[in-house]
Chains A and B, each alone.
Chain A
Amino acid sequence: MINGVIWKGDKLIDGVPETLDMLRSKGKRLVFVTNNSTKSRKQYGKKFETLGLTVTEEEIFASSFAAAAYLKSIDFPKDKKVYVVGEDGILKELELAGFQYLGGPEDGGKKIELKPGFLMEHDKDVGAVVVGFDRYFNYYKVQYGTLCIRENPGCLFIATNRDAVTHLTDAQEWAGGGSMVGAFVGSTQREPLVVGKPSTFMMDYLANKFGIQKSQICMVGDRLDTDILFGQNGGCKTLLVLSGVTSLSMLQSPNNSIQPDFYTNKISDFLSLKAAAV
């Protein structure tokens, strides 16, 4: 997880650069997995750069990339189209992967004229609807995507993630991708294929790509129901950091059933705890 582990909003969390350096010096592979689908891997690379961290595109896995990678993995036909309810990151990744798409931010300005007998047309070639966080969400998109899912035979319903809240700004919690996905679950009465955490799709993908054994992986995150569950589903070690949305009382609450292997305040504890042990 990036937000709440590496940065919070637009600010780097204390001690992160040194911690990453230390891990690299010990020969550890670093991978950054985020459920945020608003940016592409390339755009994320730029964000890391702006914050002073050297992270390559290949080390970043955003759920926008995951959606495109999933479609590739199932040989989604190139003559089919993807309807996107989401932001620029998804469009960019689909383009990179060579898929045709419709929708995205520009549908945010579309309205419907509800005259008697009005019928909304939709492209019969849409073979998948990809839904992610969308600040330009509106009824036009809900209806368009719903028509595709309900009426185009075999149309896939893919969710980048189902996070209830997200940190659009670090001032408060903002309704997340889970709300856009929830709207489609409500209108289609179908459950989506989730490519982001806690689904193990991204874990399987990178384990396969880098030839890593899952028992050799430690997942570090700040959310129990996405990050930690993701790590557990994948059979990895899990470390919860308290520098993001989860507090110690939330972890220890009787309502919580997700227990990571370890927890600590922030990742720079790797440095301080290490020093203490010497």
Chain B
Amino acid sequence: MLSKAVASAVSVTLNPKTTSKFFGLKRVSFVSSDSLVFGGKNSSFNADGLKKSRSCSRMESFVTKASASAQPLKNADELIDSVETFIFDCDGVIWKGDKLIDGVPETLDMLRSKGKRLVFVTNNSTKSRKQYGKKFETLGLTVTEVKDSFLSIVCLKFHRIPSPNSSEFSQEEIFASSFAAAAYLKSIDFPKDKKVYVVGEDGILKELELAGFQYLGGPEDGGKKIELKPGFLMEHDKDVGAVVVGFDRYFNYYKVQYGTLCIRENPGCLFIATNRDAVTHLTDAQEWAGGGSMVGAFVGSTQREPLVVGKPSTFMMDYLANKFGIQKSQICMVGDRLDTDILFGQNGGCKTLLVLSGVTSLSMLQSPNNSIQPDFYTNKISDFLSLKAAAV
């Protein structure tokens, strides 16, 4: 299987019409139906950065790792002891819709008691980090605001003891892709006199505002219609330097056209996607078309691929590793989706654990069509407690 992957890496050519789905900023990863290809590192953040990395076909060493089959988690202690940080996806891992998954609070407590750092990374861009903090609170995990406007999740039963390795309070953080979009723009020194056109929800607007960027669009454009009279021309702001696209339940043609005009006509305009998830859990009753559909619409009209800031792009991973001074080999990524969470963990060089409490079933993991193999899989995160107990 490895040689097949190598052959594919050399021969694959990029074409906007193929099914290559996810693009990282520093690393470019493609998932086609039967091969996993990694491109080289790209150190420059600019609109052309993506083009440059497409032509690189250098293989990364962790392709070997990717081809081994996932193991059912048996010795939870061994995994827990081997890492110092756990990154959790939220939907399908911590909660499902508006309900906490069984055993989550106790599991998080146990990990904290063992001195582990907990980070929560979600591709959902509808809320800001602050709003997410409130969701955690509503579900019974208390949130307190600490210095530097970071949010920390501390369970009532347990207070974090500052770790000797950190210079400030050990913190648990929430990273939503709404925050990632704003953080990305900050990281490239996006000019404050330029504007951002947002096709997405409130979370993105709040994070852009916090970061000091001017924006247009968002939910209110959901009510706008176009009067198509002969000779009608839609005006657009020439100062828009980036279009940020994420999940948008108020999606409509006005937004598609406005964003398309900015991307096509404003020189150097960036096309940024918070995420490309095909489906999302707007309510826990069924799967709902996700951010991947809004982004797909713009790919269709501009024939350009976006810079993706959410999973499986490693942007958020690099950001938090840098911020907390964590080594990636000391991280275990826990998620329910292969093509976002697990790929994210693998791209970052972390250990990966798939939970079956969300969108992925065991048969999907074991299907011949699936080429993404996490290190381990288990039913839900509270298995950390039961497997541990069983081993005693």
Contact = CB atoms under 8 A, between A and B. Distances in A.
B253 A135 contact: yes
A211 B318 CA distance: 62
Given A118-B285, A178-B300, A186-B299, A136 B253 contact: yes
Interface stretch (A50-58, A67-75, A163-171, A267-275): A163-171
Interface stretch (A19-27, A138-146, A237-245, A246-254): A138-146
A137 B256 contact: yes
B46 interface: no
Interface stretch (A93-101, A108-116, A200-208): A108-116
A271 to B, nearest CB: 28
A146 B293 contact: yes
A188 interface: yes
A175 B276 contact: no
B257 interface: yes
B278 A186 contact: yes
B288 interface: yes
A184 interface: yes
B248 interface: yes
Contacts of A104: none
A179 interface: yes
Given A142-B289, A169-B230, A179-B297, A186 B276 contact: yes
A191 interface: yes
Contacts of B284: 116-117
Q: How large is the interface on B (under 10, 10 to 19, 20 to 34, 35 or more residues)?
A: 35 or more
Contacts of A162: 300
A30 interface: no
Interface stretch (B77-85, B113-121, B188-196, B231-239): B231-239
A189 B19 contact: yes
A172 interface: yes
Contacts of B234: 172, 174
Contacts of A189: 19, 21, 278, 292
Q: How large is the interface on A (under 10, 10 to 19, 20 to 34, 35 or more residues)?
A: 35 or more
A276 interface: no
B219 to A, nearest CB: 12
Nearest to B291: A186
A178 B302 CA distance: 9
A139 B232 contact: no
A277 interface: no
A119 B283 contact: yes
Contacts of A136: 253
A157 B233 CA distance: 32
Given A138-B252, A175-B301, A169 B285 contact: no
A44 to B, nearest CB: 17
Interface in B261-302: 261, 264, 276, 278-279, 282-290, 292-302
A73 B63 CA distance: 45
Centre residue among A114, A162, A178 by max chain B CB count within 10 A:
A178
B303 interface: yes
A231 interface: no
A150 B293 CA distance: 14
B300 A173 contact: no
A234 interface: no
A147 interface: yes
B264 A173 contact: yes
23 contacts: A9-B230, A116-B97, A117-B97, A117-B283, A117-B284, A119-B285, A119-B286, A137-B251, A139-B248, A139-B249, A146-B279, A172-B233, A174-B257, A175-B260, A175-B301, A179-B256, A182-B296, A182-B299, A183-B289, A184-B293, A185-B296, A186-B296, A187-B296
Given A175-B257, A175-B301, 6 more contacts: A10-B230, A118-B285, A165-B264, A172-B261, A174-B234, A179-B256
